[in-house]
Chain A
Amino acid sequence: MLDNDRQRSRRAFLKTAGVTTAGITLSGCTNILGGDSGSDGVIIESHHYPTGDIDQFLETHTEKFEEETGITVEYETMQWDNGKTKQTTSMQNRTGPDVGEIPSTYIPQFAALDGFENINDIDVDIDASSFFDNPTEIGHYKDEFIGIPWFWGPRAHLSYTPPLKEAGIEEPPSTWDELVQKGNAFNEKNPDEHLFGIPAQENVSHFFADFLWQNGETLLTDDNTKAAFDSDRAVEALNFYKDLQSNHSVMPKSTAEWKGDARDNAFTNHKIQSTWASLATVDTFLEADDISESDIEISKLPAGPNGESATFYGLELVGIHPWTDHPEEAAEWLKYLARPEVNAEIAEMTGFLPSVKKSFEQERFQDPVWQGFKELTSTGKTFPQVDGWSQVEGIINDAVSGVLVDAATGKWSEGDTRKALEDAAKQANDELE
């Protein structure tokens, strides 16, 4: 009896083993015969920064991507406070996620740590020419394609048109002189309001760079080894920026203590009728009040006497870490993110611009606001990709903010701007050495 039982269980075991072996063999043949690729069941990890509704975007699209390819993407959103340290640690340990987001200002440091793979070395056909030119240039660091441009944020001259039309101002300013003239004209009719306002206590280096570029100057020399922001044109640019609040009354003096939220607040409460900001501010403006989109006008920033319209943009890229065991699958994920319809969605959910040119062909981007921003893509510039830039940026912030605050509090005197920029340039040169 016991022997019979043993024989039965042995037979059952053999049967099960046979079926399993046959199953495995057949599934292997299916692959060879062109069934699912070997990527099926592969899991890749992707780390991102918390911009807008990025979590929602990733939740939707990792699911869609898995349905299409069988590749699972597990994502994590890092915090801005410690994300850079986390990524740096990961690069030194050569472990961590397969895919990572790259804020453009971190590129030199990440590249120095060999943190991202040259995408051209991976067998995947991502067409670099499908992206806008400016961000593509940033994504190619020292001749290596280290990340695909994901979304970017050029600042536009945003105007709320009804009060401007009431004041007889029909067009946005195209030059510095026009900005002053229109500002004075508006101020005469509305003594308690101002035409324009930008914050002086947050990202002030971005605005200084705008004025500097508009006046035909650069932040650093062409080889990125020395500061160039202490030239005559740079002094002229900063003095013009300062005078907008202290001499011409184009901007309220209180901008000297504004951060981004104070600017948004002043814009939504119509204390200022125009500003330089990204799409996110337009969204805030439209959400806060019952305002029609047609009352918002998006235009290029004005040009200075020695240059042309220029605007700062921030850029986020996505790259593949060299230690990944699944470079092809990671590249497939990047390729998916670069699809025009997917790229359009990330732009919409974060309040920035899509990096893929064809994304603008989507129906939702045909309105004047988006098209207005599209016009800015040719005038966009960003900070130099150089090691030590974050220190230099801090030095510029201090110098510019100091001049603006001194002007607002009546402590500025002739020569102060030049001295502030020269001192800052000297310190910046030490950092760049």
Chain B
Amino acid sequence: MNLKEDGILPSIATITQTVRDRIPLPSFGLEDETAFAYWLLLPALAMMFVIHLIPIVWGFLISFMAVDASYLTNWTQAPFTVDHYLTIFDWNSAVGSRFWFALRQTFVFGIGTTIGVYVLGLVTALLLNRNFRGKLAARTVVLVPYIAPAVATVFIWRMMFSSDTGIINELLVSLGLISDDIFWLVGENSIYSITIVNVWKNFPFAAIMLYAGLQSIPEQLYEAAAIDGASRWATFRYVTFPQLKPVTAVIVLLMIVWSFINFTIPYLLLGQQPSQSGEVLMLFIYNYAFQNTEYGLGAALSVILLVVAMVLSYLYYKMTMRSDVQGGAV
């Protein structure tokens, strides 16, 4: 077949047909089209199997094995045990008490991040959606926190949060909002400081996604709202916001999952020995299990984290997708 018939590039369908004609693939009793679709999916599925499934299964297996320093090189010889899970679910044990507290703090971190990122992202997207001079430059500047290297930016935040020399306390004192220095990096406030930095780091992602969503809302809906005499707030509430629902769902889902598995920001901002308030699950797993070469225990903690994140994601997805309201673009 001449691929450049009449000087026009062939369509995907033509290429597909050519491949099917030249390479006969078994259809295993399925319809030709269906079988071919599975064959096309095979490479991706194989990669997913190697990259995702094997480590998950491996981690799950290790979580039931007493793999510690003494079984580092012959982990298959480690005895099977349910002790890791029993210890984690025992509130009175060192691991158990710290795990459940860390899980609670992870929820605070995840929910705080999601709300902060969404609100700040939405405000930014609405501002970017207006016509003004320098819009392109503004759109680029907004992306800076998201694309700047985390190590450099988080260390700058660390300096800003310092209780006696940081600019944040300086500012709050000069505005008369506080009289005594606040400790941001230790104690109860450490969970808020990692949340603030995480919001700052991720809000550009939400802003750009929501901006794309705003751009795809049909103009006719706004015209109809204007004819009906809707106020600006009513237009936002009954037109803009519902139309952004699918993109909102994606942002919320990603923020919850990303926050649950975020290690970089808590580690860089609070260091290896954070106050209990700032010890989110990822940091706890790293500190307690992997630093002490307790790989079996670390795997068990990670499995629970995975289950919690999956359940949350599933519930949220079910909740948002059940609604009849479907919006513009994702």
Q: Which A residues lie at the B interface, using CB under 8 A?
A: 84-85, 88-89, 92-93, 109, 112-113, 200-202, 204, 252-254, 256-257, 259, 390-391, 394-395, 397-398, 401-402, 405-406, 408-409, 411, 426-428, 430-431
A85 touches B72 (CB 8 A): yes
Are A427 and B93 in contact (CB-based, < 8 A)?
yes
Q: Which residues of A contact B86 (CB under 8 A)?
A: none
B288 & A394 in contact (Cβ 8 Å cutoff): yes
A-B contact count (CB 8 A): 82
**Distance, CA A337 to CA B74, complexed state (A):** 35
Binds A, one of B9-17, B52-60, B182-190, B195-203: B182-190
Given A85-B293, A427-B94, CB of A201 within 8 Å of CB of B72: no
CB pair A89–B73 under 8 Å, yes or no, is yes
**Beyond the given A88-B293, A202-B273, could you list 17 further A-B residue pairs with CB under 8 A, ordered by the A residue number?**
A89-B72, A92-B70, A92-B72, A113-B70, A201-B186, A256-B183, A256-B187, A391-B94, A394-B288, A394-B292, A398-B276, A401-B273, A405-B275, A409-B183, A409-B187, A411-B187, A427-B93
B275 near A402 (CB under 8 angstroms)?
yes
Complex: A257 Cα to B98 Cα, angstroms: 21
Interface residues of B in 24-57 (CB under 8 A from A): none
CB distance from A427 to the nearest CB of B (A): 4
A201 and B273 contacting across the interface, CB-CB below 8 Å: yes
Is B291 positioned at the interface, with any CB of A under 8 Å from its CB? yes
> Is B287 part of the binding interface, using a Cβ–Cβ cutoff of 8 Å?
yes
Contacts of A428 in B (CB 8 A): 94
CB of B79 within 8 A of chain A?
A: no
Complex interface: chain A residues within 8 A of B73 (CB): 89, 92-93
Closest 5 CB pairs of A and B: A427-B94, A92-B73, A405-B187, A254-B164, A257-B186
| CB pairs A–B below 8 angstroms (16 shown) | A88-B72, A112-B70, A113-B69, A201-B185, A253-B181, A254-B162, A256-B183, A256-B187, A257-B163, A257-B183, A391-B94, A394-B273, A398-B273, A405-B187, A411-B187, A411-B188
Contact B273 A397 (CB under 8 A): yes
B242 sits at the interface (CB 8 A): no
- In whole angstroms, how far apart are the Cα atoms of A300 and B162 in the complex? 31
Q: How far is the CA of A89 from the CA of B275 in the complex (A)?
A: 32
- With an 8 Å Cβ cutoff, the count of chain B residues facing the other chain is 28
**Interface on chain B toward A: helix, strand, loop, or mixed SS?**
loop
User: In B159-185, which residues have CB < 8 Å from any A CB?
Assistant: 162-164, 181, 183, 185
Q: Mark B97-113, 1 if CB is under 8 A from A, else 0.
A: 11000000000000000
Is B93 a contact of A430 with CB atoms below 8 Å? Answer: yes
A411 to B189, CA, bound (A): 12
Check: B218 CB closer than 8 A to any chain A CB: no
Q: How far is the CB of A1 from chain B (nearest CB, A)?
A: 65
Chain A residues near B98: list those with CB within 8 A.
Answer: 398
Expressed in whole angstroms, the minimum distance between the Cβ of B160 and any Cβ of chain A is: 13
Contact with B183, one of A109, A405, A427 (Cβ below 8 angstroms): A405
* Residues 79-95 (chain B) with a chain A CB within 8 angstroms: 92-94
